[in-house]
Amino acid sequence: MERFLTLKYYFVALPDPNFQFTKLTFAVGLLLLLAGVALGIYRKKYLKDVITKKIIRKYPGLLKTYGLLVLILLLVRETGIPYLSMRIWWVVFLIFFLYSVIKFLYTYRREYKKRSVHAHKRSINKKYLPAKKR
């Protein structure tokens, strides 16, 4: 545990080549890629709620990007490229990933409430407008 708290552990130019979590990391990268594709398909074909559709518009692409980054970091780690296979890149990736997940959860609730109130007001006002000409 003590070695995780030192900066040298994260900034070693070429970490230990015996990375024991290769299969798990590869599975996580593929899972993120597939989740991005599945969310994109679900959003376009099956999601009926217009507000949710607009809010999650950018997240399929973001999931695909994160999955691709995991696979690239794994490839760099397995090939043993100095300075690109440092552990600090995994920490930076994890920080950005957690930030985007927390931001999504926070903004989804806030945006959904705001947009649903706005949509309700628009539907009430639309009731009194004249019909469109044919």
Total length of the chain: 134
pLDDT at residue 134 in the model: 73
**Residue-wise DSSP of 77-126:** HHHT-TTTS-HHHHHHHHHHHHHHHHHHHHHHHHHHHHHHHHHHHHHHHH
| Confidence (pLDDT) at 125 | 65
pLDDT digits over 62-116, tens only? 999 999 999 999 999 988 888 888 889 999 999 999 999 999 999 888 888 887 7
Structure tokens at 70: 């995991």
Domain boundaries, the chain: 20-126
Angle between helix axes 59-79 and 87-126 (nearest 10 degrees) is 170
> From its phi and psi, is residue 45 left (phi > 0), alpha (psi between -120 and 50) or beta?
alpha
| pTM score of the predicted model | 0.79
CA-to-CA dists, residue 26 to 14, 59, 93, angstroms: 20, 21, 15
Provide the pLDDT confidence category of residue 27 given band limits of 50, 70 and 90: very high
